[in-house]
Amino acid sequence: MPKSPKKIFLIEKLLSERWFESEREALPWIMAGKVLVGEKRVSSGREKIPADGIIRIKEYYKKKYVNKGGLKLQGALRDFDCDVRGKVALDCGAAAGGFTDCLLRHGAKLVYAVDAGHGALAGKLLIDKNVVNMERTNISDAVLTRLEPKPEMITLDLSYLSLKTAVHPCREILGAGGAIIALIKPIVEVASPAIKRSGDINRRGVIKDILDDLCGYFADNGFDIAGLTHSPVTGNNGALEYFVYLRFGAETSENINNTYHASIDAAIDRSFELNKFDKNNYTDI
């Protein structure tokens, strides 16, 4: 007679595989029905499961950041070797606060979470003493130029405004100098109404033209392009996205203003190797 497969408690497996640090941390995920063994939802940490069962946890990326934006910015900070420890930052287009969350976890001292909408910022960020919630605020609003303490860097995740427009008020907010890390969404920047309507943006030639045009604009308008990379996580409907790292004034240093074409080609090559982001099958980047 074949031997029955060994079984263990679900919580044992979750902790031994380091999905969670404690039973208390795991319990809300189990109760919400987000923990599966194979395709079967398991509703109790004390339920016995096959010891060799495959764990899958829906939306597990939210254990790290409040939304996938945090994963995007994490990749950019890594690729740009950007140290935000002790910095005062402004996150424009904050929404639920993925970028804000990432900045805090990487050591930012204070983050102004700015968004034109309202009611979107995640609860854990609303109660964080290192976050200033500035909803119903646009990047061009004069109030942002009078902030104290003044931001030293700005992150941008904008859904409707071109970065060609957004970088100018950023300069006013930062004053004498600073840094900008901006998410480039080709669907926002593309000129073609047909592509905007269809959403069919993942075309190498179209993306290259957009990135070339943007980088040329930044260089011509007094910004140092400190780096350009791809987002390690795709946007809505699998759209490929990119990051640019800009400096000016007191933050001016070495730049790639004359060599950004090579960085663009490399970023595009890497982006086309990505799989569409699967919120229920997340592995860390």
CATH value at residue 253: 3.40.50.150
Average confidence score pLDDT of the chain:
93
As a whole number of angstroms, the distance between CA 98 and CA 110 comes to: 15
What's the pLDDT tens digit per position in 228-243? 999 999 998 899 999 9
Q: What domain count does the chain have?
A: 2
User: Is residue 145 a part of any domain in this protein?
Assistant: yes
As a whole number of angstroms, the distance between CA 285 and CA 281 comes to: 12
How high is the pLDDT of residue 56?
87
For residues 141 and 253, membership in a common domain is answered with yes
User: Is residue 113 over pLDDT 70?
Assistant: yes
The identity of residue 198, as a single letter, is S
For residues 102 and 206, membership in a common domain is answered with yes
What's the pLDDT tens digit per position in 196-250? 898 899 999 999 999 999 999 999 999 999 999 999 999 988 999 999 999 998 7
How high is the pLDDT of residue 155?
98
How high is the pLDDT of residue 3?
64
For residues 39 and 78, membership in a common domain is answered with no
What's the pLDDT tens digit per position in 241-279? 999 999 998 766 789 999 999 999 999 999 999 988 877
For residues 42 and 134, membership in a common domain is answered with no
Report the half-sphere exposure of 27 (CA within 13 A, side-chain side).
Answer: 4
Task: Supply the range of the domain harboring residue 45.
Answer: 8-58
For residues 133 and 258, membership in a common domain is answered with yes
User: Is residue 2 a part of any domain in this protein?
Assistant: no
Number of Cβ within a 10 Å radius of residue 234: 20
User: Is residue 194 a part of any domain in this protein?
Assistant: yes
Percent of the chain with pLDDT over 70: 95
For residues 183 and 102, membership in a common domain is answered with yes
Tell me the β-bridge partners of 184.
242
User: Is residue 181 a part of any domain in this protein?
Assistant: yes
How high is the pLDDT of residue 18?
83
How high is the pLDDT of residue 277?
82
What mean pLDDT do residues 96-100 have? 96
For residues 258 and 193, membership in a common domain is answered with yes
Split at pLDDT 50, 70, 90, the class of 2 is: low
User: Is residue 280 a part of any domain in this protein?
Assistant: no
Q: Higher confidence at residue 52 or residue 155?
A: 155
Tell how far CA 147 is from the center of its chain: 24
User: Is residue 201 a part of any domain in this protein?
Assistant: yes
For residues 88 and 116, membership in a common domain is answered with yes
What mean pLDDT do residues 119-137 have? 95
Among 17, 36, 58, identify where a domain stops: 58
User: Is residue 276 a part of any domain in this protein?
Assistant: no
For residues 138 and 35, membership in a common domain is answered with no
Question: How large is the greatest C-alpha to C-alpha distance in the chain, in angstroms?
Answer: 78
